[in-house]
Structure formats: structure tokens, C-alpha cells
A and B are shown apart, each in its own frame.
Chain A
Amino acid sequence: MLKIAVMIKQVPDSQDISIDPVTKTLNRSMARNVVNPPDVNATEAAVQLKDKYGGEITAITMGPPMADTALLQLMGMGVDNGILVTDRVFAGADTWPTAFTLASVADYLGGFDVIFCGEETTDSSTGHVGPGIAEFLGCEQATYVHKVEYEDGFFVVTRDIEGAEETIKIGKPAVITITLNANEPRNPTLKRKIAAYKKGVRVVTNKELQLDPACIGLKGSPTIVKDMKTVPDPVKNPSKLGVEDMEKLVSVLIEKGVVK
């Protein structure tokens, strides 16, 4: 029986984020919260693994209290346990303390044979967290994976590498990050959702974890964000797109092998 974890993050639906025409800042006020899309693919990968080889799945998120709905939704898909890591001291974390905290939680829960992550998030999209967890736990990792099999105690995974794919074999325990659209996530069912809402999620705070305050949250974050700028839309200049230029453009593209 495999012990499987999925790390998931609740993010504002990217479709709902607009740029305020006046202040030019991101307006997230109308945004609905959703599970980071590749994390749903990661969950599906975990559920498929469980269906085939048996196991127990724990979904873990570090986030605000309202992130429980994200866990409940995934429990509706077949995740067994939901862990909400929430505490004021975790707030403001960059990727280093995020990975550190999540790795510590995995360890605290007794360790896992495999930890699934999404390839990256839609709200910050660093892609650091999965590999970070692997490094903190000192386990093997495979990134940008779209296919996972389990054979003789090894995970056989197929990764996207630019323009091709490779299949590799990694040992246990492993961190595997799953690409967006790697699979077709199943729908939650009413019966599973009812069970999830009845069971609820387990809340874990730092009182329980006892992590060094210097290594978590804003304090533990080496990144200092000095300033944020909204990049203006590139000015469109239709006069530059004459038909002649178009033909030239196409021929250059063919030359370079971009289009056939």
C-alpha cells in the first residue's frame, strides 16, 4: 500500500483577475478561488496510482483557513485525508520557507512514498516548491511529468522535455511534479463529497509543528520584493503588419524551422 501525498495550492481564478483601468494594478477582488489547475492533474495522477496499486492519499495545503474548500473538493475526487497547514507565522512565505514548511509537514505526518505537486502555480508560477520539497527531504525527484507507473518499488515516469519526452525510473521516496493537462481529472461525486464534508480537514498549526520561526513565513524568506510594476500592454502598430512584411515573416519562420 502506497503512502501518497499531494501538495495543492488555492489560487485566484486567473480568468477573474483584471487590470484596474485607473490604478493599473491587479484587481483580484472579484476572483473566485480555485485549486491551482495542475494540482488537480497531480491529484488525478495520485488517485490513478491508488486505484491501480492501492494506497492512501493525503492532500496538503499551506494557506489561509478558507483553503479548506480546495481540500474538500479534492477529497470528493478520491483523496482520503485533507491537511490544512495554517498559522499567521507561515504568512508571507516565498518559495524557500514554503518548500521547507511543506517538507516538514510531510515528515511530521510520518513521511510518504511519493509526493505529487503541480508543475507550477498560476499566481506566482516559480515551479520552485516541488523541487524544494525534494531537496529538503533529500529524496529523488522528477519534474514536468505526465505519466506515472509503479513497478517493483520504482516509479517509472514520463517527463516532458522541450520538443521530446523521456521516461526514467526513480526510487522511493520521490517527489513528482505533474504538468497541466497531463490527464483528464475525474469529477468529484456527491457521495464522496458528503463523506469529505463529514470528515472535514485536519488543521495543523505551528504550535503542533514547532518549526523555527526564523525559517518560516516572511521572516524565513530570503526574497525581498522591493517594487512591483505592471508592464503596459505592448503598443500595437497595425501599420507595421503590411502584407509584404507578412510574407517575409512567413518565409523567415519557415527558414528557421518554426513552421512547416
Chain B
Amino acid sequence: MIVDIKERLGKTKYDVDKSYAHITVDERICEKCPHHFCVMACPAQCYTLQDGKLNFQYEDCVECGTCSVACDQGSVKWTFPKAGKGVIYKYG
């Protein structure tokens, strides 16, 4: 029963805050990053590499906090979403 990560994330409910990205990355730091470990660590595939360049999108984030630890280069600016926006587990 292998299920693609995008499909699995599709089962999870979100109320995305379109006006506030609760996590941001500094592209200039990522460019020089020796490991791009965030790509492996993020369970929601928010970090991807495209032609060697880091791409980040916050919409699928499940707010686990992993990338705030995984990035040891000081690129990730991490906050919680506001006003209950973001992931809403139905089971948890």
C-alpha cells in the first residue's frame, strides 16, 4: 500500500493562511548550504531541490518543527501560524 507523499498530504486538513508564511528561508544561505538536510528531514516535502536550488513552500507544513532543528545554517526563520490557521488534525 505505497502511497505517494503528495497524496498522503492530500488527506490531511489545512486552513492555509494565504497572507502569512509562518516559515521563511534565506535563499542566499541555502545557496551555499553544504548538505540541504532539510530536504531529507521535512516529513511534508516542503523543501525540495530543483536543479540544485532549494525550493520551499509552507502550505503543506504540518508544523512539526523538524526544519528548525535540521537547518543548522541559520536560514530557517520559524514561527507558528496565527489564529488557528495551518494544519488541523482530525485524528492527531
Contact = CB atoms under 8 A, between A and B. Distances in A.
In the complex, is A directly touching B at CB under 8 Å? yes
A184 B88 CA distance: 21
Nearest to A76: B83
Interface string B69-83: 000000000000011
A16 B11 CA distance: 11
Interface string B81-92: 011000010100
B13 interface: yes
A16 B13 contact: yes
Contact of A184 (B13, B19, B83): B19
Contact of B83 (A15, A32, A188): A188
Interface residues of B, number: 6
A47 to B, nearest CB: 15
Interface string A1-38: 00000000000000110000000000000101000000
A30 B82 CA distance: 24
B90 A30 contact: yes
A30 B90 CA distance: 8
A226 B88 CA distance: 36
A16 B82 CA distance: 21
Taking chain B's interface residues, is the majority helix, strand, or loop, or is none over half, making it mixed?
loop
Contact of B82 (A15, A32, A184, A187): A187
Interface string A45-66: 0000000000000000000000
A16 B83 contact: no
B19 A16 contact: no
B19 A15 contact: no
A227 B2 CA distance: 41
Contacts of B83: 187-188
A157 to B, nearest CB: 24
Contacts of B88: 32
Nearest to B18: A184
B11 to A, nearest CB: 11
Nearest to B17: A187
A184 B83 CA distance: 13
Nearest to B19: A184
A54 to B, nearest CB: 26
A116 to B, nearest CB: 21
9 contacts: A15-B13, A16-B13, A16-B90, A30-B90, A32-B88, A184-B19, A187-B82, A187-B83, A188-B83
Interface of A: 15-16, 30, 32, 184, 187-188
Given A15-B13, A16-B90, A187-B82, 6 more contacts: A16-B13, A30-B90, A32-B88, A184-B19, A187-B83, A188-B83
**6 closest cross-chain pairs (CB), A and B:** A187-B83, A187-B82, A15-B13, A30-B90, A184-B19, A188-B83
